Every structure is written in C-alpha cells, then in structure tokens.
Amino acid sequence: MAEFIKPPLEVYKPPLDESLYPMDDENLEFIKEPSGIKDPETLKKHIMTVQNKAYDLYGHICIRRFFFTKPKISTYPMYEHVLDSGRKGGIILDLGCCFGTDIRKCASDGVPVQNLIASDLRPVFWALGHELFNTTPQTFPVIFLAGDALDPNFLQPSAPLSTSSIRPSPPPQLSSLTSLAPLVGHISAIHVSSLFHLFFEPQQLQLVRTLAELLSLAPGSVILGSHGGKATKRFIETGYCSGGHHMFCHSPDSWREMWEEVFPTGTIEVKAELKRRRDGEEVFGANMVWSVMRL
C-alpha cells in the first residue's frame, strides 16, 4: 500500500498555540450554525478539544493553524460550477476530506447528500468531523470511504477514459461502495486540497492518473483544489509539517504539463495560479490554486 510521508519519531512537532485560534466570527460561522454552539467561549473550547485529538494523531500544520474551521472549496473560482453539477445530479467527491468541512459546505449550499461522497486515509478524522459539527451518520448521511487513493486495492490507476472509450455503465448507489473503483468515469467534480504536497513527484503523477480515471466523460467535469507550489518546480524543506522531509512543489507550468501528459491532447483545460497563503507563512511556499476541466 502506498503511504503518506510519515514523520520520524525524532522530528520536532510544535505545540498547539491558542493564539492561532480564528477570532473572526465569519471564520467560525460555518461550525457555529450546525453545531448549535452559540457562546463564543464554549465554541472555542469545543473546537480546540477536537483540534487536540486530531493533532495528537497527526501533527499537520493545517490542524495546528485551524484551517479546518473554514471551507476552502467555496473560495475557488470553479465553486459555483461544482455546485451546479451537484444540484443537477452529478457526483461530487472530496478526496483527502479530513473533517469533511468542504463536503459539508457543498451540502449546505444545496447539493443533495446522495450526490456527495468523501474519502480519506484516516477514518478517525471523519469521525472527528462528526464531533466538530455535532452530527452523526444519520443526521449527516454523506457516504464516507476510508482508503488510500494510491492503493491498487482501492483504485487501480490507468489511462483516463476518452470520448472514444466505451462509456461506463450507470453509476452505482454510493451507499453500496467499499472502494472508489466502481466510480471510474462517473464523477462530475473532484475536490482535492492540501493533499498533493504530501507526496513526491512520482506519487503525484500516480494520483493524477487515478483522478483522471475517475472523472466523468461529460464536458465540464472538473478536478480542482490547492496545495503548496513554487514559481519553479523543485524540492523544498518543509520542517515539521511533513516530517522534516523535502517536499516536491510543482510550478503552474509543470503542473499543466503533468495533467496534459495524462489526458489525451486537447481534451482538458488546466488553470493554475500561485497565491500568497492566507496565513502569511512560507512553509509551503505559495498556495497554488488549480482546476482541470474536461472540454
């Protein structure tokens, strides 16, 4: 099974810092409303309790800096397009969903839960998402699949479907799935953020092939997300956030080239833009916001 970059035991993990807690009410509104916790201090204690549990399991910078308190997907240029696809019956996948904040945003903006599916390597994070938002699998019945997208038993990467391929059979009921394999060629929108930069270049290419295989043949089907990038592709030292390893960062140009290598010529439009990280830190360099749309 392919693995995330695992931090060695001796790597320094900074302690949690309460001063990083988002004081802006807008940042907390998305949790406040579904959780039913209106009192600011009670809400803060609740969020930090969940943060502590998650950080003990995996000391990622995204958890330390409370990035899970606000959806990312709704900040991307293609978000309204994703919502439109989901409202019309298209399947939306959030890969590397962590607490499920982004898939919950899609649901709150009108995408039927039966059209949504979430997946992460660590099912405990999905469970912590229920704790964070005060929901249960009954009150928020989005299907969750635990698995590694680089594991052939979860999904074997191959060439993406093209317009000349035999079209896939009707999509299965999401509640019947035990892996992503039956969804090949069926997914209208795939959201994947803060995931690619956990892998080296060969694994990133493997993940691209996996996502390309899942994408629907319908024009307008899209893969979108963000992760650490650089103006020129290269390795950078990430410090504690990826276990002290060097991390491979694509540039917008090399990112386009990789996707265009996987898909048949002329079948996709790739957009990628470097933006300053919202936390102002340069741990990952710039934040690369991107989308890959089938033409």
Domain boundaries, the chain: 19-67, 72-294
Neighbours of 232 (CB within 10 A): 10
User: How is residue 160 annotated by DSSP?
Assistant: P
Q: At which residue do the structure tokens 């998402």 appear?
A: 129
Report CA-CA distances (Å) from 107 to 74, 207, 243: 12, 26, 34
The token pair at 136 is: 């249960």
The token pair at 117 is: 């599916």
Q: Which pLDDT score, from 0 to 100, does residue 31 have?
A: 94
Give the span between the Cα atoms of 126 and 166, in whole angstroms.
35
Give the span between the Cα atoms of 93 and 290, in whole angstroms.
16
Instruction: Say which residues have a Cβ less than 8 Å from residue 92's Cβ, sequence separation at least 6.
Output: 82, 85, 86, 103, 106, 111, 115, 116, 117, 187, 188, 189, 190, 191
110 pairs with which residues across the strands? none
Alpha helices in 97-145 (DSSP H): 101-108, 123-133
Q: Which pLDDT score, from 0 to 100, does residue 229 have?
A: 77
E strands present in the chain: 91-95, 116-120, 143-146, 187-191, 222-229, 234-237, 246-249, 268-275, 286-294
Mean pLDDT per block of 10 residues along the chain (295 residues) reads 40 84 83 93 97 92 90 96 97 97 97 97 96 97 94 70 57 88 93 88 91 94 90 63 61 94 95 74 69 97
Asked whether 287 and 275 are in contact (CB, 8 A), the reply is: yes
Looking at domain 72-294, which CATH architecture does it have?
3-Layer(aba) Sandwich (3.40)
**Number of residues that this document lists for the chain:** 295
- pTM to 2 decimal places: 0.89
Give the span between the Cα atoms of 223 and 94, in whole angstroms.
10
Give the span between the Cα atoms of 93 and 190, in whole angstroms.
5
